[in-house]
Structure 1
Amino acid sequence: MAAVILSRAALRGQLLKLVAIASSLAALAAMLDPDRFAAGMGLFLVGVNGYSQFYAIYVGIRLATAYLALKASAPDAPAVLGDVTALFLLAQPAGRLVAAFAIGLPSGLLLAVCGVELLAGLSLLALRPRGKIASP
Structure 2
Amino acid sequence: MAAAIITRWSLRSQLLKLVATASSLAALMAMLDPDRVAAAMGLFLVGVNGYSQFYAIYVGMRLATAYLALQASKPDAPSVLGDVTALFLLAQPVGRFVAAFAIGLPTGLLLAVCGVELLAGLSLLALRPRGKVPSP
Q: TM-score range by the shorter chain?
A: over 0.9
Name stretches of at least 5 consecutive residues in structure 1 with no aligned partner: none
Q: What's 2:110 paired with?
A: 110
C-alpha distance in structure 1 between counterparts of 2:73 and 2:21, whole Å: 12
Q: Which runs of 4+ in 1 moved over 6 A?
A: none
Q: Deviations over 1:61-97 (max 9, x none)?
A: 0000000000000011000000000000000000000
Alpha-carbon offset, residue 37 of structure 1: 0.4
Partner of 1:62: 62
Q: Which residue pairs with 2:75 in the alignment? A: 75
TM-score (norm: length of structure 2): 0.96
Uncovered stretches (5+) of structure 2, i.e. residues with no partner? none
Task: Report the Cα offset of residue 134 of structure 1.
Answer: 6.5
- Which residues of 2 match residues 6-17 of structure 1 at below 5 A? 6-17=6-17
Q: Helix, strand or coil: the match of 1:42?
A: coil
In structure 2, what residue type is equivalent to 1:129?
P
Rounded to whole Å, the distance in 1 between the matches of 2:96 and 2:19 is 20
TM-score (norm 1): 0.96
Separation of aligned partners in 2, 1:99 and 1:31: 26
Q: Percent identity?
A: 86
The equivalent of 2:32 in structure 1 is 32
Shift, 1:11, TM fit = 0.2
